[in-house]
Amino acid sequence: MLNITRITGFFLMGFSDVPELQTVCGLFFLVTYLAVIMNNLLIITLITLDLKLQTPMYFFLKNLSLLDVFFISVPIPNFFINSITHNNSISILACALQVFLMTSFACAEIILLTAMSYDRYIAICSPLHYEAIMSSGNCVLMVGVSWSIGLLFGALYTAGIFYMPFCGSTVIPQFFCDVPSLLRISCSDTLVVIYTSLGIGFCLGISCFICIVVSYFYIFSTLLRIPTTKGQSKAFATCIPHLTVFSVFIATGCTVYLKPPSNTTSLTERLFSVLYTVLPPALNPLIYSLRNSDVQCALKRLQQNLCPSSLLHVTVQSICLWFCGSHFARKFCII
């Protein structure tokens, strides 16, 4: 008979067994985390305070930044603390909470990106009906549905994982609790619940992918009929970033979560986990916002209305210099 011992916690492997390298990795992730948080919070502040950004597109963008803040805040702070203290243990309750939150936020973000593609479709293909279709009530409903489905899917996924008993090694070869690693140490012979969750997740991802592909098929067909090159380039400028963000997010997420579980974790899988957890939240503000002329003007107006010695003013200046270069800072920021 299989010897099953009750497990009360796990050990996260991280990226290195050398304490010095652990500390270096932790500091690197901390700097990256603070930069991502600062950028996304700035986007949320700009869209909330600036009246000219009160449109459906920026409403979705604000919620996307909020999801990114929550999503990256689940694994990175815990990894930093473990790297500094050299204590990689995590309780089973904290591990379950990580799985629940990350799957919930990831699912909600995929649905929100799908809603953003629909917003672009209506704006380009049916501009006369845009205000009626993308009303404030409908936008709030779309965002509420994305959060609700995300939380429901996260609860289903977490219940499927932690319903099963664990045995054998308690080492998770990742820097956070992920589903493939937990499946490797499961003792259950029947994985009906988790495979049902995987099937639902796969169908959800495929459905969102099909919706986005169909939306952009009609969008690009409409754009090619625009007589002016300037109008085409402006429309493409709003569509290509969305496709880029969605492609990176869905490709890395599917690689990590929808692949069949194996007995070992390769370095490639760990790198994909880093891309999945860090890259989309880092890219979203840069691709969508900081290079956007409307956001740049809002950034300028915000700086003009702030006290030069205030913390937010200094933060805005730092972001201009760090991410947008001195030319952008001289052009749009008061330094």
**106 lies in the same domain as 45:** yes
User: Where does the pLDDT of residue 264 fall: very low under 50, low under 70, confident under 90, or very high at 90 and above?
Assistant: low
pLDDT higher at 84 or 243: 84
DSSP secondary structure string for all residues of 205-262? HHHHHHHHHHHHHHHHHHHTT-S-HHHHHHHHHHHHHHHHHHHHHHHHHHHHHSSPP-
Predicted local distance difference test score (pLDDT) of residue 300? 77
Answer yes or no: is pLDDT of 291 > 70: no
Answer yes or no: is pLDDT of 301 > 70: yes
**277 lies in the same domain as 330:** no
Predicted local distance difference test score (pLDDT) of residue 251? 72
- Residues linked to residue 172 through DSSP beta bridges, in sequence order: 12
Answer yes or no: is pLDDT of 239 > 80: no
CATH of the domain at 82: 1.20.1070.10
**313 lies in the same domain as 209:** no
Supply the angle between the helices 136-162 and 56-73 in degrees, to the nearest 10: 20
Question: How many Cα atoms sit within 13 Å of 293 on the Cβ side?
Answer: 3
Structural domain includes residue 263: yes
**212 lies in the same domain as 169:** yes
**58 lies in the same domain as 176:** yes
The average pLDDT across 281-305 equals 74
Structural domain includes residue 190: yes
Query: Final residue of a domain: which of 291, 310, 325?
Result: 291
Cβ partners under 8 Å of residue 289, min gap 6? 43, 46, 61, 65, 295
The average pLDDT across 220-226 equals 79
Answer yes or no: is pLDDT of 248 > 80: no
The per-residue pLDDT for range 116-168, each reduced to its tens digit, is 889 988 988 888 889 889 999 999 999 999 999 999 988 888 887 887 777 76
**76 lies in the same domain as 173:** yes
- In 3-state terms, what secondary structure has residue 39? helix
The average pLDDT across 198-223 equals 82
**255 lies in the same domain as 301:** no
Answer yes or no: is pLDDT of 29 > 70: yes
pLDDT higher at 256 or 261: 256
Domain containing 37 equals 10-291
| Whether the Cβ atoms of residue 117 and residue 211 lie closer than 8 Å to each other | yes
Rg, Å, the chain Cα set? 22
Structural domain includes residue 127: yes
**157 lies in the same domain as 130:** yes
Structural domain includes residue 3: no
The most confident of the ranges 36-45, 169-178, 221-230, 259-268 is 36-45
Mean pLDDT over each residue of the chain, to the nearest integer? 77
pLDDT higher at 307 or 250: 250
Structural domain includes residue 46: yes
User: Where does the pLDDT of residue 97 fall: very low under 50, low under 70, confident under 90, or very high at 90 and above?
Assistant: very high
User: Where does the pLDDT of residue 299 fall: very low under 50, low under 70, confident under 90, or very high at 90 and above?
Assistant: confident
**177 lies in the same domain as 319:** no
Structural domain includes residue 1: no
Token pair 């493939």 in the structure block, residue: 180
The average pLDDT across 105-119 equals 90
Answer yes or no: is pLDDT of 113 > 80: yes
Structural domain includes residue 44: yes
Query: Final residue of a domain: which of 291, 306, 322?
Result: 291
Structural domain includes residue 45: yes
**260 lies in the same domain as 316:** no
**235 lies in the same domain as 313:** no
pLDDT higher at 220 or 226: 220
User: Where does the pLDDT of residue 329 fall: very low under 50, low under 70, confident under 90, or very high at 90 and above?
Assistant: very low
**83 lies in the same domain as 107:** yes
Strand 89-91: give its sheet, edge to edge: 89-91, 9-12, 171-172
DSSP secondary structure string for all residues of 136-163? HHHHHHHHHHHHHHHHHHHHHHHHHHHT
Instruction: Quote the number of domains for the chain.
Output: 2
Beta strands, E only, the chain: 9-12, 89-91, 171-172
Predicted local distance difference test score (pLDDT) of residue 82? 87
